[in-house]
A and B are shown apart, each in its own frame.
Chain A
Amino acid sequence: MPDFLITDSPIPCLPVLITGAGTGIGLETALYLAEHGFQVYASAPDLSQQARVDAAAAERGVSLQVLQLDVTDKQSVQAAVDTIVAEAGGIYGLVNNAGIALRGYFEDLSDEEVRRIFDVNVFGTMAVTRAVLPHMRAARRGRTVIITSVGGRIGSLAVSAYCATKFAQEGFGESLAQEVTPFGVYVSLVEPAIIKTERWGVHRGIAEGALNPESPYYAWFRESERLANRLVETSPTRPMHVARTVHRALTARRPRRRYVVGWRAGLVLTLRRYLLGESFERLYFGQAVRRVTRVQGTTDYGI
């Protein structure tokens, strides 16, 4: 790590808080950072996941601490941050990873479902960041990483609320970065491509209304889920790649504002950027819509 910049610590043993570290990207990031010498506080909304995390840590031969932290509960956020500051004397890095998904065409999403995803992804990220920032400012250094998504740069059908939360995180991170850089605090956005995690199989967050055959979008939604499944199955991106990128954002001397994870995502974003005018929108989005709507009339195409 040539550009590692740790001024007052002989070995890198800086405290890092990771939210949503019970599974998937969060867990992998926690383990990876622990392997690379960080003092990792892996937090999860409930401690039922602790045994799994501990087992995974033991298997990799690393030690990390597991904390209870529900990003939608201010008290639990404050308590977790206080614990870390008391133990470690501060917080060098925050990895805002906790997030949920919500799949379904906009008209099939209930107001409650939309609010719930904003509570976790946006207001949750803000709450933890707010609790941690004073300590970073006081230390005159710190790194805040927000795990957004390619969906924070490109909207897609059947994930409008999810994309809205990810776009919001992007806007928040971009504003915040400019506000706190003078204090030596850096904010980076990590944008992974669609990725295969446990979440995809177990609780990918399909809205209730999306499963109602009466919905005018029902057939299209099922087709879009089928296509998404295929995309996930063939995705070469792994949680490991995200973990490595987070490590880079935490250790680079001049961290980038954004890191895209996965070459496919990088390609799509580059195309969007450099194709003239709105040709990207017409081609890419037009194609997305055509692929989903051509099923009209088909009856069975199991998810």
Chain B
Amino acid sequence: MGFNGQGRGAGEHPTNDHPTARPMTTRPTVLITGTSSGLGLETALYLAQRDFEVYATMRDLSRRGTLDREAARRNAHLQVLQLDVTDQASIQAVVTTVIEQSKGIYGLVSNAGINIGGYFEDLSEEEIREVFEVNLFGTMAVTRAVLPYMRAARRGRIVIMSSIGGKIASPGATAYCASKFALEGFGESLAQEVMPFGVCVSLLEPGSAKTELYERNRRLAARALDPQSPYYEWFQQLQGLMDQLARTPATTAEKVAEAAYQALTDQRPRWRYVVGRRPRLLITLRRYLPGELFERIWTRFAKSKIQSSKSKFEL
């Protein structure tokens, strides 16, 4: 048949495609997006230290300083390339470079993502589209560019950075959650499409990690800070709650990198890797609590934490 050779799926049989089992001369190539900070940065370093030939990409090369410093400190070798997931030409250029240099792409870690805080009515259509542009269409574009090479090689791994927000939606993060939910649906469908080619797709679902995306890159909808917004008070409360959560992060970037490594190396990778104890607990509760009990508790919890402050539009 030629199909069903490697990875998960029908008629599977053990193969030697476990990268660590391969001779060091052909280190499997991994392309990672969004590596200037946070989860992407840590994942790039983690993989580079462990037998992968890493192409770490970022939109803005002027922000490569941290990655370079850390790579030097940890004695990790990786290549840094410019890639903007919203720019087709830059994706194509990077993939071409990687193929020329490495003769193939074993793994893609689609990590680039942005967040925008704000209640739905405070988000402009442009702000929502921007989130989708990077998180979803960006992931799709890079995936589309690498898939032909993976199919040709009859093996490959696509690791998509989703989030607990792709499983359980919260108030004040509509655009983010919608885009992460979309990634979940996309990844789950794609996994079934490419499985016969020996290509595996996995979704990573980390909880809040203390990363720069939260610290420095925190982006808020313009109208979310407008005291005239009916949601203003609640959003303020929510921000406070998020700060609190960030001080006790659910997980570390290293744990996420470890999960990415597993997804790339497990003989039968899981469909989903939930990272962190808190998200695992929430997802399990939601799954096994009967009916919509979880939803009711979750909503009430959010309400008590966020909407306890009296809105100026008193209810």
By a beta-carbon cutoff of 8 Å, the part of chain A in contact with chain B is 74, 105-107, 111, 114-115, 118, 122-123, 126-127, 129-130, 133-134, 137, 140, 151-152, 154-161, 163-172, 174-179, 181-184, 216-217, 220, 256-258, 273-274, 278, 281-282, 285-286, 288-290, 293, 296
* Chain B contacts with A in 179-222, Cβ cutoff 8 A: 179-193, 195-196
- A123 touching B125 by the CB < 8 A rule? yes
- A178 touching B171 by the CB < 8 A rule? yes
Whole-angstrom distance from the CB of A112 to the nearest CB of chain B? 11
Q: Which residues of B contact A118 (CB under 8 A)?
A: 132, 136
Separation of A107 and B141 alpha carbons in the complex (Å)? 10
Separation of A184 and B313 alpha carbons in the complex (Å)? 13
Q: Considering only CB atoms, which chain A residue lies closest to B311 in the complex?
A: A182
Separation of A302 and B217 alpha carbons in the complex (Å)? 53
- B307 touching A182 by the CB < 8 A rule? yes
Whole-angstrom distance from the CB of B191 to the nearest CB of chain A? 7
Whole-angstrom distance from the CB of B263 to the nearest CB of chain A? 13
Separation of A273 and B189 alpha carbons in the complex (Å)? 18
Q: Which residues of A contact B165 (CB under 8 A)?
A: 171
Whole-angstrom distance from the CB of A194 to the nearest CB of chain B? 15
Q: Considering only CB atoms, which chain B residue lies closest to A293 in the complex?
A: B196
Q: Which residues of B contact A290 (CB under 8 A)?
A: 10
22 contacts between A and B (CB under 8 A): A107-B193, A126-B120, A157-B189, A157-B193, A160-B185, A160-B186, A163-B189, A166-B185, A167-B182, A171-B169, A171-B179, A172-B178, A174-B168, A175-B120, A175-B170, A175-B172, A175-B173, A178-B302, A184-B315, A217-B193, A220-B196, A278-B272
A274/B189 contact (C-beta < 8 A), A181-B299, A286-B10, A293-B196 known = no
Q: Which residues of A contact B169 (CB under 8 A)?
A: 170-172, 174-175, 178
Q: Which of A123, A164, A179, A258 contacts B171 (CB 8 A)?
A: A179
Q: What is the predominant secondary structure among interface residues of chain B facing chain A?
A: helix
Which of B52-60, B244-252, B287-295 lies at the interface?
B287-295
A182/B303 contact (C-beta < 8 A), A106-B193, A175-B173 known = yes
A114/B193 contact (C-beta < 8 A), A179-B120, A278-B270, A293-B10 known = no
- A216 touching B315 by the CB < 8 A rule? no
- A115 touching B137 by the CB < 8 A rule? yes
- A174 touching B177 by the CB < 8 A rule? yes
Q: Which residues of B contact A105 (CB under 8 A)?
A: 193
* Chain B contacts with A in 99-124, Cβ cutoff 8 A: 119-121
B231 within 8 A of A: yes
Separation of A170 and B315 alpha carbons in the complex (Å)? 27
A164/B182 contact (C-beta < 8 A), A111-B141, A178-B299, A273-B287 known = yes
Separation of A47 and B177 alpha carbons in the complex (Å)? 35
A160/B177 contact (C-beta < 8 A), A178-B169, A179-B120, A182-B315 known = no
Whole-angstrom distance from the CB of B22 to the nearest CB of chain A? 26
Q: Which residues of A contact B189 (CB under 8 A)?
A: 106, 155-160, 163-164
B140 within 8 A of A: yes
Whole-angstrom distance from the CB of B145 to the nearest CB of chain A? 11
- B120 touching A163 by the CB < 8 A rule? no
* Chain B contacts with A in 222-247, Cβ cutoff 8 A: 230-231, 234
Q: Which residues of A contact B193 (CB under 8 A)?
A: 105-107, 157-158, 160, 217
Q: Which residues of A contact B261 (CB under 8 A)?
A: none
Q: Considering only CB atoms, which chain A residue lies closest to B128 in the complex?
A: A126
- B141 touching A172 by the CB < 8 A rule? no
- B192 touching A155 by the CB < 8 A rule? yes
Separation of A288 and B191 alpha carbons in the complex (Å)? 11
Residue among A111, A114, A167, A282 with most chain B CB within 10 A: A167
- A274 touching B288 by the CB < 8 A rule? yes
- B120 touching A164 by the CB < 8 A rule? no
Q: Which residues of B contact A257 (CB under 8 A)?
A: 292, 295
Separation of A258 and B303 alpha carbons in the complex (Å)? 19
B151 within 8 A of A: yes
